[in-house]
Amino acid sequence: MHKIKSKEDFIIITGSNIIRNNEAKLICEELMIELANGHITNLILDVQSLDLDKSKFDIFINYLSRMNLNCVALVLPKLISSLKFKLWKRKYNNYLELKQFNNLNEAKQWIKEGS
C-alpha cells in the first residue's frame, strides 16, 4: 500500500511495499500524472518500513531515473553505508540527484534548499 501527496516543492511517496508486484509500475504511472499536472521535479520516498534486502528497490529507482525528476530524497529506516551508497547512486548521477536520510524533516529541508 502506498500514498502519494503533492506539496508545493515536492511529492512524497510513502509505503512499505512499493516495489513488489505491479505496485511499482502503478506508482510510476500515478507519479507521471502528478508530474504532468505541476512544475514539481523533486521527490521524497519515505520507505522507512521497507525491507531493502528483500525488495527490488534498485529497479524502482531505475524507473524513477527515467522520469523528469531532479532530486530524490530517500528516507530509510537505517542509512546505507556511505561508500556503498556512493557506489550505488553513481549509476544515476546523470539522471537525478539521490541522497539518503533517516527522517522526513531532513529530507524536506534538503529538497527545499535545492529548489
pLDDT in tens, 58-72: 888 888 888 889 999
Q: What is the pLDDT of residues 46-61, one digit of tens each?
A: 988 777 777 777 888 8
Domains of the chain: 2-114 (3.30.750.24)
- CA dihedral (100, 64, 70, 113) in degrees, to 10, reads -30
Predicted pLDDT at 73: 96
Give pLDDT tens digits for 79-107: 989 998 999 899 998 999 999 999 999 99
DSSP the chain: -EEEEE-SS-EEEEESSTTSTTHHHHHHHHHHHHHHHSS--EEEEE-TT--TTTS-HHHHHHHHHTSS-SEEEEE-SSPPPHHHHHHHHGGGTTT-EEEEESSHHHHHHHHHHH-
Q: What is the pLDDT confidence band of residue 18, given thresholds at 50, 70 and 90?
A: low
Residue predicted with more confidence, 53 or 40: 40
